Amino acid sequence: PPSHNLEMKHLPGADPELVLLSHRYEELERIPLSDMTREEINQLVQELGFYRKETPDAPVPEEFQFAPARPLATLPPRQAPTTDGKTPPEREGQHPDL
């Protein structure tokens, strides 16, 4: 069964690896898969927190919508400078992408 937020891309000639991305599609980590069995890869995906759907069109519970994204606290803050070149103050309690 497919996992939510997990996409398989076959790149001919490339060594297989799992690339973890943030909710902003920034690369967080690369995990080589060449020396792993299918069972080990499935276990890794489960340990990382990917949600496995029962069927491809099954709904995903709300708490898993952004899984396995790491908590925002582990990501570096990202703020765009204003037109005067200064960084605006961060709004407390709001998601940084809103």
Domains and CATH numbers, the chain: 17-73 (3.40.30.50)
pLDDT band at residue 58, thresholds of 50, 70 and 90?
very high
Q: What is the mean pLDDT of residues 27-52?
A: 91
Instruction: Please tell me the pTM assigned to this model.
Output: 0.60
Tell me which H or E stretch contains 70. none
Q: Is the pLDDT of residue 92 over 80?
A: no
> What is the pLDDT of the chain when averaged over all its residues?
76
The number of helices, as runs of H, and strands, as runs of E, in the chain is: 1, 2
pLDDT band at residue 69, thresholds of 50, 70 and 90?
low
